[in-house]
Amino acid sequence: MTEDTKRHRREVLKLGAAAGAAGTVGLGRMAVGAGDSHTTPAALPDRDPPREYENYRTRRVPEDHDTIQAAVSAANPRDLVLIGPGRYTEEVRVLDTPDITIRGRDRNRVVLDGEGTRYNGIIALADGVVMENLTATGYAYNAFYWTGVDGYRGSSLTAVNNGDYGLYAFDSVNGRFEHSYAAGHPDSGFYIGQSNPSHARVENVVAERNGIGYSGTNAGGNLVLRDSVWRHNMGGIVPNTLDSEALAPQSAMRIENNEVHDNNNADAPAKAFGYAAFGTGINVAGGRDNEIVDNDVTGHINFGIGAVPMIDANLWRPGGNRVHDNRVADSGRADLALGAPARGGNRFANNDVSSSRPGSLTDDGMLGDLMTDIGDPWITLSLGKQYLQAELGEYPHGDWRDGPAPPTRKPMPNPERPPREAVGPRRD
Amino acid sequence: MASDTRADDAGGRSRSVRRLVGGQRHSARTTALAVVLALLCGAYAAWLLADFGLRWPALLAVAVLAGVFFYSRRTPAAMLASGFYGLAVLVVLTPIVLDLAFVFAADGYGITPWPFVLSLADLVFLGVFVALALILSAIGFVISRRADAGNETDSEDAAVPEG
């Protein structure tokens, strides 16, 4: 099966999932997702820093090779493809050479342009591929895409106005997205899917004007999302469970110390799934055993932090999620929310909030316990209605082709430095 | 003298309450039914209006008003029927309040609310909830009719001359 075919299949399945979600009337006939949570904890053990490669060759574009693809095709493992400023109208594929680094010499002036027709800016099917310090825009699918790999890193990347995802890792482990920016993607700016345990980290990134800032289907287990800004998307951070990808349910992700605000952007491009999350800050859709800690979440018309059931081929109820020490304010419906039916074991503690649905969600007593086990159908109704609206095809949203040009972002220091591993060795 | 005045006052209050509930006096069991139905309606209203921060006022106001209304019904069956009618009204209001909460909040978030609430999905939601309300109303209606039929039979029985 080709990547495009696989991708198309996933899209079709996702649409099917969306239709299922709309059909709440058929709930009685649905099986309840019974898969056990994966046992890997959410927090990611420290890693040593990535080690620099010693024996490598620098392949310069356009000095040594006319195109980036030509340099990649000629590269050996650990080589550095170093790209000079310019506009590159190509799609780059790294099929079987592991551990190469594709790096721009100037993040803001090395631009891969899909011109609205090419599929992916750079797609990596080999392990350990690093993409650094460049911009990709105008691709029909994704800006930077890793699939089926062990070891990946995207650093100082700018992904703007592409038809699907910005930085996208699917069925991949041991990775990192850092110091990157994603805007104007109908699905999500950053995505990690079908990966548990992920052994991955997303940090110091900014996502704005996307359908969803971060979306992660069935991804978790040593997966940390931290120190980042998620703003002016339709929905902020949405870990989620879908039957259309393996490893359901989503579980064990740690979301820590993020700034999540004003994710009510009706002009952002969005698919149905993104629109369903409209007006929510952090929204665990059918996920389990996640930790949401020490985040600042403000200005969402629906709710700030919540967990809701996800309806696909199965009904996936949120359970065992721990939401604590967050500051949530200025939410339309409620600062904290738990949608019914829930699976139980969700805990909301020490959060600085002024409202919740159900009402006693933050109480320590028996009523609080009961509420965290049951949830509130109002939350499910409000987002379910948005889902249905999107499925019926008449929801407010922008077009990814019409977004503003990529903004200038901080480049990586010293782009001539030697290439390094994707991620350092784990200390576990 | 003072105790007579207090007794008169208490009697007056009692009569006022009696008038409020249509002069009805019910057994403890029937009273409990009225209370349960009233709490049910109050809880639903509280759930409905929580987005507006009116959870407790809604619970209190609706439970008291509904309680008075239910207690004023002549029979337990009429009470139950009224309970179903009351819930039907609240169910119909559900999709409307769901959208109203969004509409009233939208301005504060710089959002034009109409594309979000005047959609086919809203119509579908309204239809589903109207259908649910119709079911509840139908149950109320059946209970009410059966109770009326029972009363008529009782009346006819009572009208049969002895001997």
Nearest-angstrom CA–CA distance, B100 and B113: 10
Which of A294, A306, A310, A394 lies closest to A355, judged by CA?
A306
Cβ contact A388–B111 (<8 Å): no
CATH architecture group of domain A3-402:
3 Solenoid (2.160)
How far the first Cα of chain A sits from its last, in Å, is: 36
Q: Which two tokens stand for residue B13?
A: 């209050």
- Which chain A residues have any C-beta within 8 angstroms of a chain B C-beta? 25, 262, 264, 266, 278-279, 299-301, 332-334, 355, 357, 359, 376, 378, 381-382, 385-386, 388-389, 391-392, 394-396
- Return the pLDDT at A425: 85
> How do the domains of chain A map onto residue ranges?
3-402
Assembly ipTM: 0.85
Q: Provide the mean pLDDT of chain A.
A: 90
Per-residue pLDDT for A310 more than 70?
Answer: yes
Asked if pLDDT for residue A334 goes beyond 50, the answer is: yes
Q: Is A342 helix (H, G, I), strand (E, B) or coil?
A: coil
C-beta atoms of B102 and A396 within 8 A: no
Q: Which amino acid is at A237?
A: I
Q: Which is nearest to A327 in space by CA: A261, A241, A376, A393? A: A261
Domain holding B53, by residue range, is: 23-159
- Spatial contact of A190 and A162, defined as CB atoms under 8 Å apart: no
Report the residue of B116, B118, B125, B130 to disrupt the A interface, i.e. the one with the largest count of A CBs within 10 Å.
B116
Answer whether residue A72 shows pLDDT above 80: yes
Instruction: Look at chain B and report how many structural domains it folds into.
Output: 1
Please indicate whether, in this complex, the C-beta atoms of B111 and A392 are within 8 angstroms of each other.
no
Peptide bond into A341 cis (omega under 30): yes
Q: Is pLDDT of A170 > 80?
A: yes
**pLDDT at residue number B18:** 61
Residue B39 inside a domain? The answer is yes
Question: Which residue out of A27, A333, A354 would a mutagenesis test of the B interface target, given it has the greatest number of B Cβ atoms within 10 Å?
Answer: A333
- The crossing angle, in degrees rounded to 10, of helices A377-391 and B120-159 is 130
User: In whole angstroms, what is the distance from residue A389 CA to residue A385 CA?
Assistant: 6
- CA–CA dist A360, A375 (Å, integer): 10
Q: Is A242 exposed, middle or buried (0-12, 13-18, 19+ CB in 10 A)?
A: buried
Q: What's the pLDDT at A5?
A: 41
Determine the distance from the C-alpha atom of residue A184 to the mean position of all C-alpha atoms in its chain, rounded to a whole number.
14
For chain B, how long is the longest CA-to-CA vector? 82
Q: Do A266 and B115 touch (CB under 8 A)?
A: yes
Each residue's pLDDT tens digit, A257-270 = 999 999 999 999 99
Contacts of B51 in chain A (CB under 8 A): 332-334, 357, 378
* pLDDT tens-digit map of A116-143: 999 999 999 999 999 999 999 999 999 9
**Cα B78 vs. chain centroid, distance in angstroms?**
12
Phi, psi of B60 (to 5 degrees): -65, -50
Please tell me if residue B52 touches chain A, with a CB cutoff of 8 Å: no
Two structure tokens written together for A40? 């890997």
Contact B121 A355 (CB under 8 A): no
Distances (CA, A) of A264 to A11, A224, B101: 24, 24, 15
Q: How far is A197 from chain B (nearest CA, A)?
A: 38
Give the Cα separation of A364 and A373 in Å (integer): 13
B55, part of any domain: yes
Tokens of residue A125, six digits: 């099917």
Task: Please provide residue A203's backbone torsions phi and psi, each rounded to the nearest 5 degrees.
Answer: -150, 150
pLDDT of residue B4: 54
Strands A314-316 and A310-311: antiparallel
pLDDT at A261: 98
B125 and A388: CB-CB below 8 Å?
yes
Is the separation of the CB atoms in A194 and A216 below 8 Å?
no
**Out of A25, A334, A394, closest to residue B119 by CB:** A394
Distance CA A350, CA A158 (A): 36
Give tens-digit pLDDT for A206-244.
Answer: 999 999 999 999 999 999 999 999 999 999 999 999 999
C-alpha–C-alpha distance, residues A188 and A141, integer Å: 11
- For residue A230, give the amino acid letter: W
- 3 state DSSP class of A395: coil
- Beta strands A327-331 and A347-349 are unpaired
pLDDT value at residue A372: 84
Give the residue carrying structure tokens 């069956």.
B77
Could you tell me how many CB contacts below 8 A there are between chain A and chain B?
Answer: 71
Do residues A45 and A300 touch, judged by C-beta distance below 8 A? no
User: Which residue, among A375, A407, A309, has the nearest Cα to A24 in the 3D structure?
Assistant: A309
CB contact under 8 A, B105 and A299: no
Peptide bond into A77 cis (omega under 30): no
Among B48, B96, B102, B107, the residue to mutate for chain A (most A Cβ within 10 A): B102
Q: How many helices and strands in chain B, by DSSP H and E? A: 6, 0
**Rounded mean pLDDT of A253-282?**
96
Q: Which of B94, B99, B117, B119 to mutate to test the interface with A (most CBs of A within 10 A)?
A: B119
Q: Where are the beta strands (DSSP E) in A268-318?
A: 280-285, 291-293, 296-300, 303-308, 310-311, 314-316
CA dist., res. A409 & res. A106, Å (int): 10
Of B111, B112, B121, the CB nearest to A388: B121
* Residue ranges, chain B, pLDDT below 70: 1-24, 150-163
Give CA angle at A398 (A395, A400), nearest 5°.
Answer: 130
Q: Percent of chain A beyond pLDDT 90?
A: 82
Residue A32's φ and ψ, nearest 5 degrees, are: -90, 125
B15 assigned to some structural domain: no
CB A227 within 8 A of CB A203: yes
CB contact under 8 A, A378 and B108: no
Distance from the B152 Cα atom to the nearest Cα atom in chain A, whole angstroms: 40
Distance CA A423, CA B4 (A): 90
Compute how many other C-beta atoms are within 10 angstroms of the C-beta atom of residue A347: 14
**Interchain proximity A392–B105, CB inside 8 Å:** no
* Inter-chain touch A385–B102, beta carbons under 8 Å: no
B161 touches chain A (CB under 8 A): no
| Residue A292 in tokens | 């949401």
Rounded Cα distance between A121 and A125, Å, is 13
The pLDDT score that the predictor gives to residue A19 is 34
- Choose among A357, A376, A385: nearest Cβ to B121: A385
Question: How far apart are the C-alpha atoms of B11 and A11, rounded to whole Å?
Answer: 74
Separation in Å, CA of B69 to nearest CA in chain A = 27
Quote the pLDDT of residue A215: 98
| Residue A192: per-residue pLDDT | 98
pLDDT at residue number A3:
44
Closest to A397 (Cα-Cα) out of A252, A274, A240: A274
Q: Report chain B residues whose CB lies below 8 A from the CB of A382.
A: 98, 102
**B85 touches A at CB < 8 Å:** no
Contact status of B124 with chain A (Cβ, < 8 Å): yes
pLDDT score of B38: 97
Contact A378 B105 (CB under 8 A): no
